[in-house]
């Protein structure tokens, strides 16, 4: 695969990966802050408003970091942390019965696949056409 195609694919992939996180923060958590915090508290999240602010920061900073490929490994760690906590508190299918089990298991598995994506980014970085790669090349040439 030539480097132009590979670069373009990594940019599109990073955009696809982070869309869910950025939309979650900007389209749901920020405009509906009070109701999201109340829901979090009802699910047993301690200090829900404080942790919601933290979640919003992790989602936006992590999402932009991966999108731009700027400290993408750190951004992936932020999103991985968010996913672990969100999965534990909100997709705990093992505590449910009946029809609710299947729906939450699907969400659990979706989050598990996104956690795998974050681990992959932490392992291999953001790829071509990223600020991380540009900075690494500049460091080598200086």
In 3-state terms the chain splits into helix, strand, coil percentages (rounded to 5) of 80, 0, 20
Output the six-digit token pair for 49: 């408003």
Full domain range(s) for residue 16: 3-134
| 130 found inside a domain | yes
| 139 found inside a domain | no
Which helix (H) or strand (E) segment holds residue 39: the answer is helix 33-42
Q: Could you read off the pLDDT of 95-131 as tens digits, one per residue?
A: 999 999 999 999 999 999 999 999 999 999 999 999 9
Q: Could you read off the pLDDT of 64-93 as tens digits, one per residue?
A: 999 999 999 999 999 999 999 999 999 999
- pLDDT tops 80 at residue 142: no
| 141 found inside a domain | no
Which residues of the chain form beta strands (DSSP E)?
none
Q: Could you read off the pLDDT of 24-69 as tens digits, one per residue?
A: 999 999 999 999 999 999 999 999 999 999 999 999 999 999 999 9
Kindly state the greatest CA–CA separation across the chain. Answer: 62
| 140 found inside a domain | no
Cα-only R_g, the chain = 17
Q: CA–CA separation, 116 vs 135, rounded Å?
A: 26
Q: CA–CA separation, 79 vs 85, rounded Å?
A: 10
As for how many domains the chain has, the answer is: 1
Helices (H) then strands (E): counts for the chain: 6, 0
């Amino acid at each position: 695969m030539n480097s132009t195609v590979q670069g373009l694919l990594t940019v599109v992939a990073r955009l696809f990966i982070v869309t869910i996180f950025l939309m979650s923060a900007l389209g749901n958590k920020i405009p509906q802050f009070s109701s999201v915090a109340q829901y979090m508290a009802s699910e047993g999240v301690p200090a829900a408003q404080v942790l919601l602010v933290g979640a919003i920061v992790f989602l936006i900073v992590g999402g932009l970091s991966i999108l731009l490929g700027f400290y993408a490994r750190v951004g992936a760690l932020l999103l991985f942390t968010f996913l672990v906590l969100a999965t534990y508190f909100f997709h705990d299918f093992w505590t449910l019965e009946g029809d609710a089990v299947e729906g939450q298991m699907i969400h659990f598995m979706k989050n598990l696949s996104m956690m795998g994506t974050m681990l992959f980014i932490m392992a291999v970085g953001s790829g071509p056409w990223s600020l991380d790669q540009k900075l690494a090349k500049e460091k080598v040439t200086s």
